Amino acid sequence: MSNPANVFVVGLNDFNRERLARLRGAEGLRFHGVIDPERVYDTEVFDIAAMLDEATARLEAFEGSIDAIVGYMDFPVSTMLPILCERFGTRTTSLASLLKCEHKYWSRRVQQEVVPEHIPAFTAFDPFDDDALTRIGEAGLYIPFFVKPIKSSGSRLGFLIDSPETFYRAIEQLRDQIGLIADPFNTVLEQARLPAGVAGVDGGFCLAEEVIGGWQCTVEGYVFEGEVVSYGIVDSLRYPGVLSFFHYRYPSGLPDYVQAKMRELTQTVMTHIGYDNAAFNVEYFWDEVRERIWLLEINTRISQSHCDLFEKVDGVSHQQVTVDLALGRRPDMPSRQGAFPLAAKFFYRVFFRDARVTRVPTVEEIAALKAEFPGSAIELQVAEGQRLSSLPEQDSYSYALAHVWLGADDVEQLHARYDSLAARLFFGFDEIDG
């Protein structure tokens, strides 16, 4: 009997460990943590150099074989993986191909080379330039437009600009907070060779883009030895009238021909980038009115938010894809072998500017809800006494108090179950700034 393979997971937490244990072939694997999860999940201060040193020391001290190094998070985990994998001879895509996805300006330029009709107008700008708004206009972009950092995490520091006043309010926040990601991202950029047109645009810059919209979705996929495979499309549905996400739903409800076109675009772009032997997901909009597909952005990982959805519908978390690729295997990802035809992750939100949390649902209340709704999962994102403004990784318009995963037979049943469950999630607040 062969020895089990050792798989090292950057930021391994209980959420990942439980699902990893249920993967196909998990009995032949041993999962080990690299870098404590609170270092990458529960902070907004990322000392990448120190984390790389810590991970290297832990791996070098391991007495067995190092067969794979994986991660399931966006920045900083995603950007550290190619560096660690190169140091220890394990499989993943190259740092250059990863940055062609994660450096938003470089990524737009690369996308524009092969699918220009699916890319919005865009330009890079320095948020510390007092004439930034004028320069954006000189580049051919006019209000309204969307602004986000060259490297961001989630929806953080993304702003819809609909007036000069909203631009300058956004600039204040960007100047105050962009360094939290810009500085560590620049540490990674120093290890890469950027093309001439991109080299001067570091992590302290922002991207201004033409406003695009429509039905948003995510194509989850991977590249194995040059072959691009898209294995699932997840819809991203927002609260009415705002930019905040309401829920992710799988499988997608988009028309088949739209899904087929998105898969085709994904294959074209990922092949052109040279991405290989790693998972990814690509976010799109389908503008139904203008019958146009827009490519929003590329992420160099699976979405953790979708793990439970794939497990409910297909029978196993798509962490399967990441582990198999890292071990040099074609992913053994099943299809429609789960307990539910449909699944979703809901974001229970409040739309305050700030507040102090005075009550959260009790352990007993959550246990009762989970018993009443089989297959459900509820994860609180706040604690009693916490200020909402202290929550990491929030969008610019709301706060997610809880994540709720549910399965159902159809859309109507899904929403009925969520409405019933959400009505019994009791939070309390004071010092509310609405």
Extents of the domains making up the chain:
5-94, 121-210, 215-433
* pLDDT value of residue 420: 97
Q: Which residues contact 32 (CB under 8 A, 6 or more apart)?
A: 6, 7, 8, 9, 12, 62
Per DSSP bridges, beta strands 5-10 and 68-70 are: parallel
Q: Note the helical H segments in 139-255.
A: 164-177, 179-189, 196-199
Nearest to 109 by CA among 298, 288, 285: 298
Phi/psi of residue 103, each to 5°? -80, 105
Tokens of 321: 């894809």
* pLDDT value of residue 42: 62
Secondary structure tally for the chain: helices H, strands E? 15, 17
* pLDDT value of residue 1: 53
d(CA 28, CA 352): 48
3 state DSSP class of 413? helix
d(CA 254, CA 260): 10
Q: Which residues contact 249 (CB under 8 A, 6 or more apart)?
A: 234, 235, 237, 309, 342, 343, 344, 411, 414
* pLDDT value of residue 45: 73
Q: Note the helical H segments in 32-163.
A: 37-41, 48-61, 77-88, 95-102, 104-114, 132-138
Task: Encode 55-67: b = buried (16+ Cβ within 10 Å), e = exposed.
Answer: beeebeeeeeebb
Q: Which residues contact 211 (CB under 8 A, 6 or more apart)?
A: 120, 144, 145, 146, 160
d(CA 36, CA 34): 6
Architecture category of domain 121-210 in CATH? 2-Layer Sandwich (3.30)
* pLDDT value of residue 160: 93
Fold that domain 215-433 belongs to in CATH: D-amino Acid Aminotransferase; Chain A, domain 1 (3.30.470)
Nearest to 50 by CA among 29, 32, 36: 36
d(CA 234, CA 251): 6
Q: Mind listing the pLDDT tens digit of every residue in the chain (434 residues)?
A: 578 999 999 999 888 899 999 999 999 999 999 998 887 776 667 888 899 999 999 999 999 999 999 998 888 889 999 999 999 999 999 999 999 999 999 999 999 999 999 999 999 999 999 999 999 999 999 999 999 999 976 667 889 999 999 999 999 999 999 998 899 899 999 989 999 999 999 999 999 999 999 999 999 999 999 999 999 999 999 998 887 899 999 999 999 999 999 999 999 999 999 999 999 999 999 999 999 999 999 999 999 889 999 999 999 999 999 999 999 999 999 999 999 999 999 999 999 989 999 999 999 999 999 999 999 999 999 999 999 999 877 777 899 999 999 999 999 999 999 999 999 999 999 988 87
d(CA 327, CA 256): 33
Nearest to 75 by CA among 162, 10, 170: 10
Residue with the two structure tokens 């953080």: 156
